[in-house]
Structure 1
Amino acid sequence: MEREQIVSIVNDFLVNEFEVDRDDIQHDANLKKTLGLDSLDYIDMVVIIESNFGVKLGEADFKQIVTFDDFYSTIQNKISQKQLVS
């Protein structure tokens, strides 16, 4: 899956499911501060990521994510790893 597709899908579900203003989603913006999600929201996000991309993000993954760009890269890397295993 191309990075542009990942960015588009992620941004769409952030806007639609978490009511994030699309203008606030910037590649170098701090993900946690921008989204202001609580722990239940993160669980919802994990479920949405799994249903959209077929990969799971765990707590360790989220600890490494600072920016939206990190978030996109983490998803892209998980997809690539899954394809290598398949």
Structure 2
Amino acid sequence: MEKTMEREEIIETIKGFLVEEFEVEEDLIEPNANLKETLDLDSLDYVDLVVIIESHFGFKVTAEDFTDIHTFEDFYNFVNNRLNG
């Protein structure tokens, strides 16, 4: 069941689990920063990220969903659009 969240709440939730799960400094998570480079993601990390998104936000994510996600802003927009249509 998908739930509605405010954009700021989405961003704070995402930052919280990125800092915790990927051990990245919160001040590196800037809207225009490159998601893959900042988090130093490899293919296994993307799997972890998918699982985390699904558990925090309650919707399914596929690898193809990440093809257009380059920055944190793209990531926030993706989650916001999926939650709030």
TM-score scaled to structure 1, two decimals? 0.89
2:13 pairs with 9, 17, 22, which one? 9
Partner of 1:67: 71
Q: 1:1-86, aligned counterparts within 5 Å?
A: 1-81=5-85
Q: Calculate percent identity across the aligned residue pairs.
A: 56
SS of the equivalent of 1:28 reads: coil
- Give me the whole-angstrom Cα distance separating, in 2, the residues matched to 1:74 and 1:9: 14
Give the root-mean-square deviation of aligned CA atoms: 0.9
- Give me the whole-angstrom Cα distance separating, in 2, the residues matched to 1:23 and 1:63: 25
Higher helix share: 1
- 1:22-67: per-residue Cα shift (whole Å, max 9, x none)? 1110001111111111111111111111111001221121010011
**How many aligned residue pairs are there?**
81
TM-score scaled to structure 2, two decimals? 0.90
SS of the equivalent of 1:56 reads: coil
Structure 2, unaligned runs of 5 or more: none
Which structure has the higher relative contact order (CA within 8 Å, separation 6+)?
Answer: 2
Structure 1, unaligned runs of 5 or more: 82-86
